[in-house]
Structure 1
Amino acid sequence: VGLGDQARRRPRQLSGGQAQRVALARALAVDPALLLLDEPLAALDARTRLDTRAELQRHLGAHPGATLLVTHDPLDALVLADRLVIVEHGRVVQEGDAAAVTARPRTDYVARLVGLNLHRGRADGHTVTVGELTLTTADTVHGDAFVAYPPAAVALHPSRPEGSPRNVWTATVTGVQRHGDNLRVQLAGPVEVAADVTPAAAAHLGLTPGRPVWAAVKAAETRAYPA
């Protein structure tokens, strides 16, 4: 776990992150039939976490027994787990492999974990009605349904956009936060939604709390599936 040069140090001479990696090494060294990991990367700084996650993934791939990993970090879960069981308010709300969970979240909590906007409504073919808003989707669904799409799929405009058919509605900016190289804009309206825009676009649109905008999402950017 990258601590060979610390082998002669006393436990009290190790940082919290180093002690955490020693604990991982100690657990893996005895080749257990069952490995229980509770927030194994929680005490690590960002760089050490990245390296240790990759090392742990390699060890778990070679581990012949079962591993139960508990974590609040969605990236840890998606990278390290073969099967996800998501618990919300003490209840299992979804389970499956990473591809299934990220493609079709079933609660707002899961959608936030995997970085998607999620709405529940009533579907009739290529349309899903969510409250007062009707969304056109690329998928055909009937009955209770979910619609999911990433924040990057939401385009913001100062006036109603023209051009190719798309879902459009009026919204109000409620918050703007840094999100990687972009800004994540929180919007209120007929549905609550997050949009990712560049800093240049945010400045051009004057995106500050209370600003009215038009939100647009192309049907091809959405995923609809039974609720």
Structure 2
Amino acid sequence: MIEAVVVDVDDTLCLTEAVCFELENEVLAALGRAPMARAVHLATWGEPLLDAMPKRSPGLDVDRFDAAYREVLRRYVHDGRLDAIAPENLRALDRLVQCGRTVLLLTSRTEAEVEHLLAPDHVLAERVRAVYHAGNTRYGKPAPRVFDELLAATGLAPGRCVYVGDSPGDALAAGGAGLHFIACLQSGVRSREDFDVRHVSAFVDTFPELVEAVGRLDTRRAPGSPGTAN
């Protein structure tokens, strides 16, 4: 049985790439920097923000950007422009919990970028058991060891966990750690052809399809078995 469903945040639990592109360009403008092109943002999407920004804006003072970014981030969250989780996605999480699955989050974001998701009154508080981020994990995706702290804290066997994400790096990390992987294509940023199917147990076109996809994995063989993607 799949005991735990580990969920990525950006462009998986909630659609964020387009909003983050707007937010980051607003910060760049406040710093007197030229805006980045959307193609550059897409090409570096999925990388930790402060690793990606020097590629998105060469010569950028990353510390100044980080300080300004945090202020704008808080405003976007407060205004409901960033990290708004669709009701149907929340219902999908509820169904997973009702089926006896533990729901966890694992993201490349920093602690400052997820602190609003950790608030005790957030809609995720009673749905998600724990959140793993750059502040409490020693490794980052696509390194398979990004799951080290999660597996150690929960005592779960990798083969009884599934990671749900939107990028090839997510798939590589999960496959290398022995977790099943479900690729969520809802954002439209990536397609099936972007993934090495050796690391993918299933594809879903929308997040709510995850519930049935996880159910089908209960009867399948371990990650890496041939013919697992559908």
Q: TM-score, normalised by structure 1?
A: 0.28
Larger radius of gyration: 1
Q: TM-score, normalised by structure 2?
A: 0.27
Where is the helix percentage greater, Structure 1 or Structure 2?
2
Where is the strand percentage greater, Structure 1 or Structure 2?
1
Higher RCO (C-alpha under 8 Å, 6+ residues apart): 2
